[in-house]
């Protein structure tokens, strides 16, 4: 397999891909921001008739840019993207990308959207970059080398009970939504409180950063969280076995949390968290 022009024989191919992910996430975020400032002029479609699941020309063009960069620098790598589907899944290196996570927020003038680029190596999440241009933040991490927001190391929250912080939550119209309200009731009964900002990638990054003590989604897709899973792991947090079964392509229920509250949140979610 050939490596990128960025990765000479004297360069670690993973380090080259880490540098690539950070650079391209920032450049893609700049391109997305150019669309964001003129979002009222964008053509918008609804996927499969789902009014919650929208796609714009911005999503499509930003993903095309990321795929073009991948084709130039790492042509033998596989890719899974929200808009462009999957290819090359037999490859050792597989990129998992979301050009604009939370298009609904993007189109409605909210700041809770980002670009997410993650990399799997031999089936395991290895590195990720999440660029949030509205707040000037690049969350990034590499297994064994830590996780950061810009240059500041990330550390999961030290909470020992759900009363001690905020839990991110989310749901969709997909099967699994029936577990959402029972979870909220249980969380509130335990003295906890929740927020929802619409972006799975950002809420995952916030768990890694200690801003949230946990994040539960009834059903999430891999492009929303693959990059963030690396951040949570490197920041000392925990996650469920999200990639089990066909999780890479079909998604699964999702939970990430600070280590001191993971089990408490998992109990509140119940058996659906790791159901086949």
As annotated, the binding site includes: 82, 98, 100-101, 224
What pLDDT was estimated at residue 52? Answer: 44
What pLDDT was estimated at residue 6? Answer: 46
Q: Say whether both 140 and 176 belong to one domain.
A: no
Q: Is the pLDDT of residue 243 over 60?
A: yes
Q: Say whether both 147 and 177 belong to one domain.
A: no
| 58 compared with 247, residue with greater pLDDT | 247
Residues 234, 147 contacting (CB under 8 angstroms) = yes
Q: Say whether both 121 and 175 belong to one domain.
A: no
180-189 and 262-269 are packed helices; what angle lies between their axes, rounded to 10 degrees?
130
H/E run at residue 181: helix 180-189
What pLDDT was estimated at residue 43? Answer: 66
Residues 6+ apart with CB under 8 A from 252: 219, 220, 240, 242, 243, 244, 245
Q: What is the CATH number of the domain that holds 55?
A: 3.30.540.10
Residues 172, 166 contacting (CB under 8 angstroms) = no
pTM over the 0.85 mark? yes
Q: Say whether both 30 and 135 belong to one domain.
A: yes
- pLDDT tens for 167-210 read 999 999 899 999 999 999 999 999 999 999 999 999 999 999 99
Domain range for 202: 166-269
163 secondary structure, DSSP code: G
Mean pLDDT of 222-238: 98
Number of C-alpha atoms within 13 angstroms, CB side, residue 100? 30
As annotated, the binding site for Mg(2+) includes: 82, 98, 100-101, 224
% of residues, the chain, pLDDT over 90: 83
In a domain? residue 64: yes
Residues 6+ apart with CB under 8 A from 113: 32, 36, 100, 101, 102, 103, 105, 106, 132, 134, 198, 199, 202
- pLDDT tens for 1-49 read 334 444 443 469 999 999 999 999 999 999 999 999 988 877 666 554 4
Q: Is the pLDDT of residue 145 over 90?
A: yes
Q: What is the CATH number of the domain that holds 262?
A: 3.40.190.80
- pLDDT tens for 36-88 read 998 887 766 655 444 344 557 888 899 999 999 999 999 999 999 988 889 99
What pLDDT was estimated at residue 49? Answer: 47
Q: Say whether both 79 and 179 belong to one domain.
A: no
């Amino acid at each position: 397999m050939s490596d990128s022009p960025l990765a000479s024989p004297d360069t670690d191919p993973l380090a080259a891909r880490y540098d690539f992910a950070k650079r391209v996430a920032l450049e893609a975020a700049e391109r997305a921001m150019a669309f964001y400032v003129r979002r009222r002029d964008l053509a918008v479609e609804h996927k499969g008739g789902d009014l919650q699941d929208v796609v714009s020309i911005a999503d499509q063009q930003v993903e095309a840019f990321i795929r073009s960069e991948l084709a130039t620098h790492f042509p033998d790598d596989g890719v899974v993207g929200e808009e462009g589907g999957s290819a090359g899944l037999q490859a050792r290196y597989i990129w998992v990308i979301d050009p604009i996570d939370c298009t609904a927020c993007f189109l409605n003038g909210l700041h809770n959207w980002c670009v997410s680029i993650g990399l799997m190596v031999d089936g395991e999440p290895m590195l990720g970059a999440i660029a949030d241009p509205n707040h000037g933040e690049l969350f990034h991490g590499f297994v064994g080398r830590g996780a950061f927001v810009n240059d500041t190391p990330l550390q999961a929250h030290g909470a020992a009970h759900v009363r001690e912080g905020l839990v991110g939550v989310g749901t969709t119209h997909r099967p699994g939504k029936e577990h959402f309200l029972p979870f909220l009731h249980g969380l509130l009964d335990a003295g906890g409180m929740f927020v929802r900002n619409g972006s799975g990638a950002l809420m995952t990054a916030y768990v890694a950063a200690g801003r949230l003590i946990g994040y539960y989604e009834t059903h999430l897709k891999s492009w929303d969280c693959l990059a963030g899973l690396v951040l949570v792991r490197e920041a000392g947090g925990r996650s469920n076995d999200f990639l089990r079964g066909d999780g890479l392509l079909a998604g699964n229920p999702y939970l990430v949390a600070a280590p001191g509250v993971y089990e408490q949140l998992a109990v509140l979610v119940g058996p659906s968290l790791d159901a086949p």
